[in-house]
Amino acid sequence: MVHGIPGLRVLKDGDIISVDIGAYIHGFHGDAARTFAVGQISSEAQRLIDVTKESFFKGLEKAVKGNRIIDISGAVEDYVVANGFSVVRDFVGHGIGKEMHEEPQIPNYRCSGQRSRLEVGMTLAIEPMVNQGTHVVKILKNGWTVVTADGKLSAHYENTIAITENEPIILTMPS
């Protein structure tokens, strides 16, 4: 799902792989992730990738001044669940700026406590992590690599955004 450690495993036709990249420029962080197909993948794997990406954009629609974090979270969750997938609950999006991970946390599901209002100037990393099966994940013995508990596929899509007076700006996509 996330945080894999490079090793000797060779990617093969039909695999999907998520790449999560951080940047640090002039004192500020950026964070983006994408899931890529390796060769020809199943239609269900492609649908998982597509739903994950689109769920980010559903959340982005709610990332406007005056809305709440839970509005973003709910939009992501609603889209993912309506498409028959689940959102990871153990890892979430986050505020980002001078530090890679700052408050507020941005879950991909509705939960109590995420009532913070969005304000102009906030920068956030919205990052849906979507599983084909259960939302439950486990950390491997290396203490770093996270996989789905049921062994099914997972996809990840993330961008760093800025809240403005009008619509949000995606900071980690070419214009």
Would you state the pLDDT for residue 171?
A: 97
Tell me the per-residue pLDDT of 61-79, one tens digit each, with 9 for 90 and over. Answer: 999 999 999 999 999 999 9
CA-CA distance, 76 to 99, in Å (whole number)?
A: 24
Ordered alpha helix ranges (H), the chain:
43-61, 69-82
The pLDDT score that the predictor gives to residue 73 is 97
For residues 67 and 114, is the Cβ–Cβ distance under 8 A?
Answer: no
Check pLDDT > 90 for residue 113: no
CA dist., res. 107 & res. 125, Å (int): 11
Mean per-residue pLDDT of the chain: 95
What is this structure's pTM? 0.95
Domains of the chain: 29-35+42-111+121-170 (3.90.230.10)
